[in-house]
A and B are shown apart, each in its own frame.
Chain A
Amino acid sequence: MRLLDGFSPARWWGMVLKEFLQLRRDRLTFAMIIAIPLAQLTLFGFAINTDPKQMPMAIISADESDITRTLVAALKCTGYFNIIGRLPDEEAGRRALAQGKVLFVLTIPADFTRSLLRNEHPSLLLEADATDPTATGMALASVTGVARSVTVKDLTGPLAYLAEREPPFRILVHRLYNPEGINQYNIVPGIMGVILTMMMVLMTGLAVTRERERGTMENLLAMPVRPLEVMTGKIVPYIAIGLIQATIIFLAARLIFHVPFAGSIVTMYLVTLLFVGANLTVGITISSLVQNQLQAMQLTMFYFLPNMLLSGFMFPFHGMPGWAQFVGNLLPLTYFNRLIRGIFLKGNSLSLLWPDIWPLMLFTLAMMTIAVKFYRKTLD
């Protein structure tokens, strides 16, 4: 082997030592070495659940009886449903579903108990937000068992005749928004937010850091240009890039993946613009915290990871434990995912989207404040 000719272990060891020394000096890399595996472990190990339980459900009940109460209790017992309240009518139910406040609405019609006792085979209506088929699939499958268990438990004695045959009532399941349960309908619009997060944060992060790394920042600071001019001026091209990317994904979603689009294009662009803005402020903030482009990339990755995993993009948001949902609620992508899916699949209007819009605005404002505060007007 020619390769090992003249290989000096001492020289080689010198090389190894130098690498370690440099690694030790780069504190951020050092922190990442520890933080990334810990974050990944926590997120994948504890936060992510592909079989989500305790998903929010609302009940519209026009009939209160022992039997309906047992029924509700049985639904609870499956572990899939967390009954968060009662709603007055169907309209309120649809609204709650559209806004993603609940994933299920159970409607118990008037006279349900009476019809049941008369053996008229009444129906219950269970509406599900099927945007994310993986989130709701298992829960809906568990429902068929419920009807049977109720019958066995409650219909005893003189009512036992009802229990003998096939279930005396039916649960009609309506899968709203994505009735065929096509996963791509959920994932493809979600990709828009993921790509925008990655690109916008990284590109702005690098744009400012590059100036610092190449020494042109000093020149810029010596000119009578104001921080706000530098920052907003740097942002504009990336806003355009963000909108172009959104357009590409939109077209691909429609033409290649045939994702239905129930909402308004104007609303989509407005929401996307806001989201792009939110991410750009993150990028600018990152760039004012780091020293070089490598660190900017590392911090971007660190920001990207929870966004990817906790925003409801890859895994059902409602399947995560409380703390993970709390973290998810701090991330702009969580809101954007709800917004963009709401626009694509549910056709939500701006007023319906508002509960997910104002947190994005708040986030952008807060980040902008931090960015301006940390922007170094001098070289200190």
Chain B
Amino acid sequence: MSDHLAIDVTGLNKRFGKKEVVKNLSLQVNRGEIFGFLGPNGSGKTTTIRMMCGLLIPDSGSGNCLGYDILRESTRIKRAVGYMTQKFSYWDDLTIRENLDFVGRMYAIPRRRESVDQALEGLGLTGRAGQLAGTLSGGWKQRLALAASLLHNPELLLLDEPTAGVDPAARRDFWEELHRLSARGISVLVSTHYMDEAERCHKLAYIAAGNLLAQGTATQMIAAQGLHTWVIRGENLMNLSRRLRDLPGVAQTVLFGAMLHVNGTDRELLEETLHGVTAESDWRMEKIDTTLEDIFIYMMNRAGIREATAP
């Protein structure tokens, strides 16, 4: 066990009935780091997060969370971890203040009243403290949930798709807050579907169908796949995309609205193919840096997973 790791787990396995949800997963998160956890729906992200904070017991594997054994010391982990569930899980029929107060009591935090007041002020909700939590909009619920999970000053935040269903402005604010927390030394493990959010993380891990396919910084992950990418603009990209798929050197094509990303591992071969095809019409091609989205789709296809079913 090393002190600089907030999370250090090896060989985690979890199955529900016959379905293996997490397979042999190992993960290291440094202290003070924002660690992005990516993967399609039903890939095992939530299950992994739940195993780390003692909500689920892994079938096999071992590890530490903040230096505490995830199998035996779940109570200690719970005390030092803030967990934000995917779905808003505070009490709709309690007011904002009552929710925070309850959380404060559960963690037996010292000077509870002050902490709750501070949290309310931080949220900018002091004036609406008496409002029922259930009447808040999605963005406010998310902010309340974050404030509540931070109330006991956790060393590690586990955030399960915290920005799902939240508008872009609120998402941007949320991420700024995460970076402030990280600067204060709080480690963050956050799962997400958004690529712009992935790019804001210090480190990333990509999981699909329970398998951890890659981890590292965004640059490392992109480099590791060795993909070359061209973007093609023009008319009738849908047909072009279909045609390109079977041509030599093309690993995959991804349509982004008015742009078509074409990826391949063999740079020369791909370029040659593309030159041949684009010459036929007024398609404009341009070499670009491979994006995270390109490599995630690439990894997913290579793993043979289109859309995993949720557990």
Contact = CB atoms under 8 A, between A and B. Distances in A.
A216 B55 contact: no
Contact of A379 (B56, B78, B81, B88): B56
Interface stretch (B89-97, B178-186, B254-262, B294-302): B89-97
A225 B56 CA distance: 16
Nearest to A222: B83
Which of A214, A219, A220 is the most central at the interface, judged by chain B CB atoms within 10 Å of its CB? A219
Contacts of A380: 56-57
Nearest to A211: B91
A168 B177 CA distance: 101
A222 B87 contact: no
Contacts of B53: 222
Contact of A224 (B50, B79, B87, B90): B79
B75 interface: yes
B55 A215 contact: no
A31 interface: no
Given A223-B103, A225-B106, A215 B89 contact: yes
B252 interface: no
Contact of B57 (A215, A220, A225, A378): A378
B85 interface: yes
A166 interface: no
A153 B103 CA distance: 83
Contact of B78 (A215, A218, A223): A223
Interface in A137-183: none
Contacts of A224: 75, 78-79, 106-107
B269 to A, nearest CB: 49
B103 to A, nearest CB: 7
B179 to A, nearest CB: 24
Contacts of B89: 214-216, 218-219
Contact of A216 (B50, B54, B79, B91): B91
Contacts of B106: 220, 223-225
Nearest to B105: A225
A95 B81 CA distance: 62
Given A215-B85, A379-B50, A222 B90 contact: no
B112 to A, nearest CB: 14
Given A224-B106, A379-B50, A218 B55 contact: yes
B57 A222 contact: no
Interface in B48-100: 50, 53-57, 75, 78-79, 81, 83, 85, 87-92
Interface residues of A, number: 14
A221 interface: yes
Contacts of A222: 53-55, 78, 81, 83, 85
Contacts of A214: 89, 91-92
Contact of A215 (B54, B83, B87): B87
B164 to A, nearest CB: 14
Contacts of A221: 55
B169 to A, nearest CB: 26
A221 B87 CA distance: 15
A380 B50 CA distance: 10
Given A224-B78, A224-B79, A224-B107, A219 B56 contact: no
Contacts of B91: 214, 216
A62 to B, nearest CB: 69
A228 to B, nearest CB: 13
Contacts of A223: 78, 103, 106-107
Nearest to A229: B106
A214 B92 CA distance: 9
A227 to B, nearest CB: 11
A214 B54 CA distance: 20
A221 B89 CA distance: 11
A109 B56 CA distance: 74
Which of B81, B85, B87, B89 is the most central at the interface, judged by chain A CB atoms within 10 Å of its CB? B89
Interface in A204-218: 214-216, 218
A143 B85 CA distance: 73
Nearest to B78: A224
A222 B53 CA distance: 7
Contacts of A225: 106
B187 to A, nearest CB: 16
Contacts of B54: 222, 378
Which of A214, A220, A224, A378 is the most central at the interface, judged by chain B CB atoms within 10 Å of its CB? A224
Interface string A217-247: 0111111110000000000000000000000
B144 to A, nearest CB: 12
Interface string A350-380: 0000000000000000000000000000111
Contacts of A219: 83, 85, 89-90
A215 B133 CA distance: 14
Nearest to B14: A380
B73 to A, nearest CB: 11
A348 to B, nearest CB: 43
Nearest to A223: B106
Contacts of A379: 50, 55-56
A220 B92 CA distance: 14
Interface string A302-345: 00000000000000000000000000000000000000000000
A216 B57 contact: no
Contacts of B107: 223-224
Contacts of B75: 224
Given A221-B55, A224-B75, A224-B107, 15 more contacts: A214-B92, A215-B87, A215-B88, A215-B89, A216-B89, A218-B85, A219-B89, A219-B90, A222-B85, A223-B103, A223-B106, A224-B79, A378-B55, A379-B56, A380-B57
Interface of A: 214-216, 218-225, 378-380
15 contacts: A214-B89, A215-B85, A215-B87, A216-B89, A216-B90, A216-B91, A219-B90, A220-B106, A221-B55, A222-B81, A223-B107, A224-B78, A224-B107, A378-B55, A379-B56
The 9 nearest A-B residue pairs measured at CB: A219-B89, A222-B83, A224-B78, A223-B106, A215-B89, A224-B79, A215-B87, A379-B55, A216-B89
